[in-house]
Structure 1
């Protein structure tokens, strides 16, 4: 079954903090430019493979010397940058979005050092601090403007007990993200149905803030009414043009072992609803290493896509073009 690419007109009012690199333009404009390039016979550069979701944390020695783990969040597996770089090279992955790990919680110094050392390879996603005193808004601004983070993650389970991401602090941070032109990623580990009303409210009230749904919003291939409702809710979020979906951490959302073939229908429906230009692959390194290996995480997408099938162009969007254009070609040489 062929799936379609949807054209998305993003809000023109949004100005990114790096106008020379981050500028909102319509997806129509991008597609037209691409078609014009092909028509003139101009040389086509290879679409880079970009991982939209992975983590990196200090090695034990780095933690002892300079970048301590948050107490109680010591990692149980290696996730240092040397291992990441080796894994990416072996798999043929060109760049990645590093999501701040809970192992360092709100201390972003380790990830910031990696971003500074490898500016053409990595983009950073910081972790929102929903402290009740509202200090997280300024922290977010500093991480974006001073430490070169380009996205922010909302972990709803870090909000004070009994409060939601739509509280005053949450809305202030979500609004600030839109003002700064950075996407907000949502981690719905306990299920999309728990958080769908919050996400819808934030998207409705702040249409200029881009949204990334981590790991298919934790929607497994549905096998009962409750899961069907959650997956339907995910597809309906496509009505918000600012919402993107990460086809990431496949081992977390599949009910089958590698290559996670039960996700073929899921991917087909997600692409049909959002368009491949709003879907992006992510590995969830280093957790994926013990599951199918980093290279396997990349290969699984092609194997799943072949069952639908997706066109080569659609697969290119998912494997790197979507996130590359979202961040306005951050990974160009």
Structure 2
């Protein structure tokens, strides 16, 4: 199998330890692992696995401060870029017009605690944000697990707004597993597939082992991933490891397995399709360049 010309990990959290000069917001979820995950560790794994670039995201527990990740992007401009976190208040919406003028910044990652930020997926509640992001043409990573259908009104009203759906909008079944309950991560998958009618909607093959009930190579995901490919086409699919989230699993996979799953094990993909998913789509949509 021919490897893609450029491999992009389109979503991984990096962070430093909390410090009194940069306190984390109270009441957010706990970090996905005890030790901070910095860019040097990430670059070492990328080098060992043949990954050329990574899109890093400040995790939800550190808040809406992009300072650290932008510093890392400035230090490694050929390897690291950022999907930052916006404060998501009407008072700061003016930042969006020049958001991508920040060196290393590609767009925004949307994941906000509802209790703190309200129902941000509701178009009427948050149209001040969606309309401004659309005017700026900002790519958005959207975490809407088990709620893909709620993106339809946004995609329809703002066809120029690039929406990238994280984790295929699959249901987070980790807590069900811990409680010994059966759960289907794909229970509302048709809602995601229906979004394929909007050309501005893209999806991510990300955090995939989280949704599998089998060991590597996670063949119980094959049908769903193939249906996503059939609906969206590989030119609207990106791969992302979501590496630190793997720490929450009982048997965390290696970084090489996260890449190898898509590169080597999805037999329904052609060489050209693997090239799109593992790098080409991210380069076109996020960097606005051809692979």
Pairwise TM-score range, normalised by the shorter structure: 0.7 to 0.9
d(CA) in 1 for partners of 2:185, 2:40: 39
d(CA) in 2 for partners of 1:274, 1:296: 24
Please report the RMSD computed on the Cα atoms of aligned residues, expressed in angstroms: 3.0
Instruction: Give per-residue Cα distances to partners, 1:241-294, cap 9 Å, x unaligned.
Output: 000010000122222222211111111111111001111110002223671021
Q: Which residue in the other structure is 1:196 paired with?
A: 149
CA shift, 1:162, in A, is 5.4
Q: Are residues 1:322 and 2:281 paired?
A: yes
Q: Which residue in the other structure is 1:152 paired with?
A: 108
CA shift, 1:178, in A, is 2.1
d(CA) in 1 for partners of 2:193, 2:37: 33
Q: Which residue in the other structure is 2:132 paired with?
A: 176
Q: Which residue in the other structure is 2:71 paired with?
A: 113
- Whichever of the two has the greater Rg, that structure is 1
d(CA) in 2 for partners of 1:219, 1:79: 25
Q: Which residue in the other structure is 1:129 paired with?
A: 87
Compare 142-151 and 278-287 and name the one that shifted more: 142-151
d(CA) in 2 for partners of 1:141, 1:77: 35
Q: Residues 265 and 85 (structure 1 numbering): CA distance in 2 closer, same or farther, change over 3 Å?
A: same
Instruction: Give per-residue Cα distances to partners, 1:121-161, cap 9 Å, x unaligned.
Output: 12211123333xx1231344454333542111222534656
Aligned length: 276
CA shift, 1:203, in A, is 0.8
Instruction: Name the TM-score, length of structure 1 as normaliser.
Output: 0.73
1:220–1:254 Cα contact (<8 Å) kept: no
* 5+ residue gaps, structure 2: 174-181
Q: Residues 196 and 296 (structure 1 numbering): CA distance in 2 closer, same or farther, change over 3 Å?
A: same
Q: Which residue in the other structure is 2:199 paired with?
A: 241
Q: Which residue in the other structure is 1:292 paired with?
A: 253
